[in-house]
Structure 1
């Protein structure tokens, strides 16, 4: 395949991207969370190419991205709870796992042949424009090699996937910076992945939400134990760095790089993957990244989830 195109996030770029997608191509595009690797969710071939480009295991389902609730209801069965959550949090960084409609028309590769489907309505204007120009659902995991650090800039996408996909639409840096929260509503509410919508906000609407997800049999993305991994080793809750470690700080204090010098979790989430890449480059082969403690509240849950998976033993 020739070099991956970098398209502007303007009407011509969106038109070109939609045409590539209709032809079965793969196009990375910005959402408010991270860049997604889009392919026609109704095409077995396009979806298979997503798994191939990423080196992603086939048992790990994908999220179907659509522009609005009406399009989502053509793919999944919504009850009153799901509609209430959608009304409160869509468009935005929330994915719902719901029973798959028999006539949804999605490739079974999207759902890993499960009876449920993960769906999101992104808020990013470029994602919205592309979904509407394409005119159908896009399967779109994060646009990076499987298990590696997620991309929040077009340069990150090209660093991992240049020459393996047709194009990336450059919409600048992603504002949220961590993937969407995934909420299971195919039974009692369950948190399948913390993310851009704090669980506290969901519990204010639904009541207590249990933890869910199974790394051995995932029913949504982001459940594998080792994920988001840099090349360097990762040491968590490091109050002080050891010799030859790169210090990734949070809040006041000395650090090589700092997610947020003021201790702002929103800023920390937005900078997490970008600074994790920079820390990896500073650490070099055989190095270690020492990460300061981060509160387990609000967006801190999502940040710590990503960091625990980045630090997990790698297969």
Structure 2
């Protein structure tokens, strides 16, 4: 009976998002900066998806994974940045409880999906370089489409579990989330009851979603580097390595920013530092990925030139 009464008094319909910075003089410069970042992100990722669809020479598993990565980056930035921009131009950035849970749900989906997509891309490069004669069989349509589908299915599962248990938590007052979006840890700090299960789920799924992709990537690239070192000619080694250099850069930026965000000593970790470091994960990485793959990948550059020349002559 007491629990029911407590539950009735713990009905929260809205939260406030603290935003990235509370300094008035920074609001307009930050608004302009992140508006520019969002425009570049949307144009870059939509451009990458369109280029892969239109260019027949890019119709292979490597670029299907890349188009999936671009879709994830586009969606992830769209989940976060528009609401962030509101906080720069309004005094109080209110977010409804259903909107907050929806944002959390999709943020987890696309965050987890990015981890496993980068791992699938590493496996694709491993097969292409270490077993080139078996590539068409090992990375058949059924295999790579199953990998892409599996990434999204597991991401939805992870998000559903986290969000489902978050909905069970009681929030008893209109409170300020010390972040610029609804994230797991800032929300748990506002909970008025035991959050042990939620914290345990974060530990379990967090370890799984970081360790499995990282181990896959490390194992794949250990085999790739070993194969490259066995190539006799310097030109051959350089050409082979260049086919996966873009992916290495994307992996380094993504997991580097994640490590900076989560692997700080507790003595220096704070929610304010978490806000700043999470900017890399939610805004910078989705903007940089299409730039990395377009500037460092010869196939993408050649396909882009071919499309532009075709449009010019038309």
More helix by proportion, 1 or 2?
Answer: 2
- Larger Cα Rg: Structure 1 or Structure 2? 2
More strand by proportion, 1 or 2?
Answer: 1
Query: Could you tell me the TM-score, scaled by structure 2's length?
Result: 0.27
**Structure with the larger RCO, 1 or 2 (CA within 8 Å, 6+ apart):** 2
